[in-house]
A = this chain, B = another copy of it.
Amino acid sequence: MATRHKGSSREVKALDAYIKLMRAAESVSARLAPGLASAGLTVSQFGALEALYHLGPLCQRDLGRKILKSGGNITMVVDNLEKRELVERVRGESDRRYITVSLTKQGRKLIGELFPRHAGAIREEMCVLSDAELEKLGSLCKRVGLKDKA
């Protein structure tokens, strides 16, 4: 049996850290969502706009990878952003499978105004930690997030 004292204690620590990680993420998200909702955006919509804002036009596949969402989902998120004329789709010329999504003038304006405000709200949420603690948290999270990648 692999679970003796030490193993068991380790399992508890792993579980405990996992639960706190999830709680922290959910609870920060929940506190941030109203700020985005007040601009009429969901978290995914904001994520998509933000990716386009900072990375430039992307095809839907790449957009999906950036915001960690499935292909089927991206179709809907982009649909909804397109309805509000915040983004536009352009079918690729050389390879007609690709659809490049880019910000419209309105979309750029919205995310350009919203992003700094949202970033400020994030800083407020994280302000319980010191600079050093933020870095520590970041580096630990990064390792957990990247497990079995790269």
Contact = CB atoms under 8 A, between A and B. Distances in A.
Interface string A97-131: 00000000000000000000001101101111101
A119 B15 contact: yes
Interface string A50-80: 0000000000000000001000000000000
Nearest to A133: B140
A28 B17 CA distance: 12
Contacts of A92: none
B137 A17 contact: yes
B140 A137 contact: yes
A14 B68 contact: no
A16 interface: yes
A65 to B, nearest CB: 12
A21 interface: yes
Quick one: copies of this chain in the complex?
2
A28 B111 CA distance: 28
A36 to B, nearest CB: 14
A142 interface: yes
Given A11-B119, A30-B68, A68-B30, A17 B144 contact: no
A147 to B, nearest CB: 5
B18 A135 contact: no
Best-surrounded residue of A11, A20, A30, A129 (most CB of chain B within 10 A) = A20
A120 B2 CA distance: 11
B138 A126 contact: no
